Chains A and B, each alone.
Chain A
C-alpha cells in the first residue's frame, strides 16, 4: 500500500518521528523487559529483587565476575563471527557446529600433532587451527550459497548438527581418555593453557583475544578495501557486482571468516577453560551468538557489550534461583523475548522509514 502523504502532520510530529524511529530497536528492549517483569511478578517474585540478585550474582563478587567472563568470551567471539556474516547479508546459524569443529581441530593438534608445543606460539597455532576448523565449516555453506544459490540459513543449520554429532562420534572412537569416566579427551599439556586474568577464578585471556578480534574487525570493516567491498555486498549485491566487486568470492570469504571466528571461540574454550574436548562443552553458544550479534547491531564495537549483557544474564541466573526460587530457565525466556522485540522493532523501523521517505516528497520507487 502506498503511504499517503502526511498532509497535516505538524513539524513537531515529524521531528519526533525522525528522532524516535531510528532508536526503535533500542527502545524495544523496554517492553520486552516489561513482559519479563510481569512474568516474574506472576511467579510471586518482586522484579526489583530479581534484578538485584541477578546483578549481585553476575558482578557482586570475584566468583561471579569470573563466571560472567567465561560465559561472555565464547559469546563475544562467535557473536563477532555472526556479525561478519550479517554485514554481507548472510545468516550463519551454524555457529554451534563451527565451535565444535574449531575445538576438535585445536584438540587434535594439541594432543597428537604438536604435543610438545607450548607458550604463546603453541597457543597461536592452536587458535589458528580452530579458525581453520570452523572456517572449513563456513566455507561449504558459503560455496553452496555463492555458486548454487542455496540458502545459507538452511545449510549452516544442517551442517551444525552434522558437526556436533560427528565430533561426538570421533571423540568416542578416537579421542576418549581411558583414564576418565567422562566422555572426554585427555587433558592438553599445561603449556597450552591460556593465562588466567583474575586470580582464583577461571576468567581467562580469551577475553583479551575477543577484544583484539573485535578491534581488528572494526578496523578492517571501516578502513580496508575488502571491508568496504564487503559492506557494499551487504548493502546491494547487484550494485556491488556492477561496481566490479567479486561478489561470490567476497561472500565465500565472509562465510569462512564467520565460521572461522566461531572455530576460534571453540579453540579458546578448550585452551582457556576446559583444557580438553568433552561432549556437550558448548551449551548452545552458537545460537545465543545470533542474539548477541543482533543486539550488537552487527557492529564489532558493540558486540562485546551485547556479549557481556547476555553472559551476565546467564551467570546471574543461578543466584536468582537460589535466592528467590525463580527457575533459571527464566533467562533464555527473557533473552528470547528481547530478541523477539528487537527483531520486530527492526522490521517496524524499516517500514516506518520507508513511509517517511515517501512522505518526504521524494521520488516514488
Chain B
C-alpha cells in the first residue's frame, strides 16, 4: 500500500461513523426536521454499543443496541418537535446536554472500575478479490463489515430517496408540506419515520466509532463529530451521494493531518479541524454553488398555518 492509499483508507475508516450519522440526518433534513441533537444520539449509541458489547461478548449485538439507543433518543426529539411542536433547535441542544451528562454519569455509575477495559469490536475484513483492485480496492474494501454495510445503505438511500414513492413523499414533506398534506401525504408521520432513521443511523455511527476504533467508552467520546455530520450534510446539499463523499473527504483530511503530525510536520491540528466548518460556511454563502436546503427545514408543520 502506498502512502496515498493508506491515508485514503484511513480516511474512509475515520469518516464512516460520521457518514452514517450524516446519512440519517439527510433523511431527517429532507423531511424538514433538523437534528441538532445528532451529537447526543451518536454519543448514546456509542455508550450503548460499548456497554452491550461488553455484556454480551458480541460486537454485533452491541451495534444493534447502539442503533436502538439512538432510535430512542430520536423518538424523544420527534415527540417534542413534531407532536408537541416544540422548537427543534432547542430540543436538539437539550438532547446533547442530557446525552453528555447521562452517558458520563452512567459511565461512572455502571463501569466505575472497568472504564478502560476494551470490549469486543469490529476489525477489518478484506473482501477477497475486490480488495485486490489496485487503488480503489485497497482503499474501499479493506474495511470492517460495518463499513461495507454503510456502503450498501448509502447506495440504497440514493435509490430510495429519488426513485421510491416514500422517498418522494419525504422530499415533499420538507419542500412544501402544505401541498404534500393536500395531496394526502401524512407529513408528520413521514417526519417521524425520518427522524427515527436519523436516530438509528446516528446510533450506528456512534457504535461504529466506539467499536471499530476505540473499543471502550470515555467521556464525550464523539467530541463534536455529530456537528461535523451536520456540516457534512449541508456540504453534501442533502444528497446522499454527495454527503457520503463529504464524509469521506473529512475523514481523509483528518487522516492526513494525523499522518503529518506523526511525521513531524508542524500543521496545527486545529486548522484541519476547522476546515470542514469553514468550507461549509463558504458554500452556504454561495461562494462555490447555491446550496439547496429543503425549504421547510426547521419549520413546524401545522395544517392550515403558513
Contact = CB atoms under 8 A, between A and B. Distances in A.
B281 A158 contact: yes
Nearest to A351: B85
Interface of B: 34, 36, 76, 79-81, 84-87, 89-91, 93-102, 104-105, 108-109, 219, 224, 227, 230-231, 234, 268, 270-271, 273-274, 277-278, 280-281, 284-286, 291, 293, 297-298, 302-305
Interface of A: 1-2, 39, 43, 91, 93, 140, 144, 148, 150-151, 153-155, 157-159, 161-162, 165-166, 168-169, 172-173, 287, 290-291, 294, 327, 329-337, 339-340, 343-348, 350-351, 354, 365
Which applies to chain A's interface (DSSP): helix, strand, loop or mixed? helix
A144 B94 contact: no
Given A144-B284, A340-B98, A347-B85, 6 more contacts: A161-B224, A291-B94, A329-B104, A332-B101, A336-B99, A365-B305
A333 B90 contact: no
B147 to A, nearest CB: 26
Given A144-B284, A161-B224, A161-B274, A333 B89 contact: no
Contacts of A140: 281
A190 to B, nearest CB: 31
Nearest to B284: A150
Nearest to B271: A169
A337 B100 CA distance: 12
A154 B270 CA distance: 20
Contacts of B108: 327, 329
Nearest to B87: A343
The 4 nearest A-B residue pairs measured at CB: A336-B97, A333-B101, A347-B86, A336-B98
B89 A93 contact: yes
B84 A344 contact: yes
Nearest to A339: B94
Contacts of A168: 268, 270
A205 B293 CA distance: 45
A162 B90 contact: no
Given A1-B303, A327-B109, A155 B281 contact: yes
A144 B230 CA distance: 18
29 contacts: A93-B36, A148-B286, A150-B291, A150-B293, A154-B230, A154-B284, A157-B230, A158-B231, A158-B278, A158-B280, A158-B281, A161-B274, A162-B277, A169-B270, A291-B97, A294-B90, A329-B101, A330-B105, A332-B97, A336-B99, A336-B102, A339-B93, A339-B97, A340-B76, A340-B98, A344-B80, A347-B87, A348-B86, A365-B304
